């Protein structure tokens, strides 16, 4: 089966500084023992357009799509926001190839629950290459992982280890405070 009931899609390009946020969150989620009905996908930079189109044409029972990406919503670098597809005006969410992602998302939203988890970037280096996330965006990764786990209902028995030298370890419910 190509998809599961819950699809978590990280979008972005790690070659452009904070634009690598989505793939970095996906990398952390892939280290966890998630339920069988959850599929975690690194959609990269051009993949979102094709993935969302493929989901729209699929007969498979995807119930919930999470899109994890950077988003300029006027917050402080590293702030996280949950954005509704209804809050995306046409042409305001594009992939690296300038394809409008709003249209395929709007095609999906009547069939699939969609949550866009956006992180306010500090710096996107495009067109220059710059590997690595800013400190603020790096610190948003474990918070985003915790948020996703809480939203998919995984809050007992999964250990989250923040590999970014914080040394915090505990169950999802301990870390999330639930």
The contacts of residue 14 (CB under 8 Å, 6+ apart) are 20, 23, 24, 131
The contacts of residue 49 (CB under 8 Å, 6+ apart) are 95, 97, 99, 101, 104
92 vs 152 pLDDT, higher one = 152
Longest dimension (CA), the chain: 43
By mean pLDDT, which of 32-46, 66-80, 114-128 is the weakest? Answer: 32-46
Per-residue pLDDT at 44? 77
The third-level CATH classification (topology) of the domain covering 6-176 is Rossmann fold (3.40.50)
Model confidence pTM above 0.85: no
Question: Which uninterrupted H or E stretch holds 143?
Answer: helix 135-151
């Amino acid at each position: 089966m190509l998809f599961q009931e819950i699809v978590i899609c990280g979008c972005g390009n790690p070659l452009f500084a904070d634009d690598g946020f989505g793939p970095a969150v996906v990398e952390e989620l892939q280290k966890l023992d998630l339920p069988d009905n959850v599929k975690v996908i690194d959609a990269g930079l051009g993949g979102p357009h094709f993935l969302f189109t493929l989901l729209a044409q699929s007969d498979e029972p995807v119930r919930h799509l999470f899109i994890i990406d950077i988003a300029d919503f006027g917050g402080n670098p590293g702030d996280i926001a949950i954005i509704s597809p209804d809050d995306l005006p046409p042409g305001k969410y594009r992939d690296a190839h300038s394809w409008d992602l709003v249209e395929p998302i709007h095609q999906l939203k009547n069939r699939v629950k969609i949550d866009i988890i956006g992180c306010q970037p500090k710096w996107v280096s495009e067109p220059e290459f710059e590997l690595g996330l800013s400190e603020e965006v790096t610190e948003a990764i474990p918070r985003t992982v915790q948020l996703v786990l809480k939203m998919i209902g995984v809050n007992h028995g999964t250990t989250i280890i923040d590999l970014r030298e914080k040394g915090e370890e505990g169950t999802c419910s301990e870390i999330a405070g639930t």
